C-alpha cells in the first residue's frame, strides 16, 4: 500500500495570507489527524477527522480549520497567517471503526509533512 502523502512538501507564505495543506491517507484508513511540530512546542495535536466529521480538536485558535472528503482525503486551512505558524505540519492516518473511540491501539501512520514558512 502507498503511504500517507502530503502536498505540498514546502510552502512559503507571508503574514496575513491563508494556506491550504492536503493529506491523502493510506488506502482504507478513514481517520486522519493533523499535528503541528515546532522546536519550541514539540508535536501538538490539531484535530482528527473520521467519516468527514471532526471527532476531536486540540487547543488551537479558530484560524486553524480542516475538512475531510468522502474519499478520506483531508485538507487543513490556516487563515490570517502569523509568524508563529511557521512549522512542520504532519498528517497521520489510521484504521478506525465507526464505533471506536478516538483513543485507540491502532497506531498512526505519518506522512512526510509540509514545511510552512511564514515571512
Partner 1 sequence: AQSVTQLGSHVSVSEGALVLLRCNYSSSVPPYLFWYVQYPNQGLQLLLKYTSAATLVKGINGFEAEFKKSETSFHLTKPSAHMSDAAEYFCAVSGPFYGQNFVFGPGTRLSVLP
Q: Is position 112 an interface residue for partner 1 (rule: CB under 8 A)?
A: yes
Among 1, 2, 28, 42, binds partner 1 (CB under 8 A): 42
Q: Facing residues of 93 across strands?
A: 32, 109
- Judging by beta carbons within 10 Å of its beta carbon (0-12, 13-18, 19+), is residue 85 exposed, middle or buried? buried
Q: Which of the stretches 12-20, 64-72, 76-84, 107-115 binds partner 1 when contact is defined by CB under 8 A?
A: 107-115
Q: What are the angstrom distances between the C-alpha of 19 and each of 11, 72, 84, 117?
A: 9, 20, 14, 11
Q: Which of 7, 51, 80, 104 binds partner 1 (CB under 8 A)?
A: 104
| Residue 14, all three cell numbers | 507571508
Instruction: Pick from 2, 59, 62, 103 the residue near partner 1 by CB under 8 A.
Output: 103
# residues contacting partner 1 (CB under 8 A): 24
Q: Is 109 in the site for partner 1 (CB under 8 A)?
A: yes
Nearest residue to 104 (alpha-carbon basis) of 29, 35, 52: 29
Is 107 among the residues that bind partner 1 (CB under 8 A)?
yes
Q: Which positions touch partner 1 (CB under 8 A)? A: 4, 33, 35, 42-43, 45, 48, 56, 58, 90, 92, 101-105, 107-113, 115
Amino acid at each position: 500500500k502507498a503511504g500517507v502523502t502530503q502536498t505540498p512538501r514546502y510552502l512559503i507564505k507571508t503574514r496575513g495570507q491563508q494556506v491550504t495543506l492536503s493529506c491523502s491517507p493510506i488506502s482504507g484508513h478513514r481517520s486522519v489527524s493533523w499535528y503541528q511540530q515546532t522546536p519550541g512546542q514539540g508535536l501538538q495535536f490539531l484535530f482528527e477527522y473520521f467519516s468527514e466529521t471532526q471527532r476531536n480538536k486540540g487547543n488551537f485558535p479558530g484560524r486553524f480549520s480542516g475538512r475531510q472528503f468522502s474519499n478520506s482525503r483531508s485538507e487543513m486551512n490556516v487563515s490570517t497567517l502569523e509568524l508563529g505558524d511557521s512549522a512542520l505540519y504532519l498528517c497521520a492516518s489510521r484504521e478506525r471503526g465507526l464505533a471506536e473511540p478516538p483513543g485507540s491501539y491502532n497506531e498512526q501512520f505519518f506522512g512526510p509533512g509540509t514545511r510552512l514558512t511564514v515571512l
